[in-house]
Amino acid sequence: MLARWEPFGGIRRRRRDVFGDLFDMQEQMNRMFNEFFGERETGLTEGSWVPSVDVSETETAIVVRAELPGLSHDDIDLSLHDNVLTLKGEKKQQAKKEGENFHRIECCFGSFSRSFSLPATVQQENIEAKFKDGILEITLPKVEEAKPQKIAITAGA
């Protein structure tokens, strides 16, 4: 079951009796103005788009996963300069077909750029990037010195 995220949920629950109706009315007014002026609920305007990115770490590598639906590997530019990994690209808007009238457009499109500062503990020459099913996975292997080392403990006399 999906639940709507409410950043002020705790405040709202405690003050529901006093301020609940005012919060609801403010949300409805904000939604109405956003729709009237062409903004989606995400707050993005047409032509702007930022792909979602997850960054995780294992004992041997740092892994970056970017969601890039609707793109091919040719639409993506991945570069490394001065320890900064940069992901760029452009998601093109679908061409309108003759006789097709849109009632609502929520699919995001446009150019994007994301940059990530890499730690000095990454083997830059061994970075791998794979693109499958709209997911770009970048594996940044750690240098040997950065990997956790097991320390032997000896019994005291």
Residue 64 has pLDDT above 80, yes or no: yes
CATH of domain 53-93+109-145: 2.60.40.790
Half-sphere exposure of 96 (CA within 13 A, CB side): 7
CA–CA distance, 112 with 47 (Å, rounded to integer): 10
Return the pLDDT at 59: 86
pLDDT digits (tens, 9 = 90+) for 99-109: 788 777 777 78
Q: Where are the domains of the chain?
A: 9-46, 53-93+109-145
End-to-end CA distance of the chain, in Å?
A: 60
Q: Taking the model in full, what pTM does it have?
A: 0.61
Beta strands 128-132 and 110-117: pairing type? Answer: unpaired
Return the pLDDT at 3: 52
The CA distances from residue 27 to 21, 118, 125, in Å, are 10, 40, 50
Residues paired with 117 in a beta bridge: 84
Tokens 């409805």 belong to 28
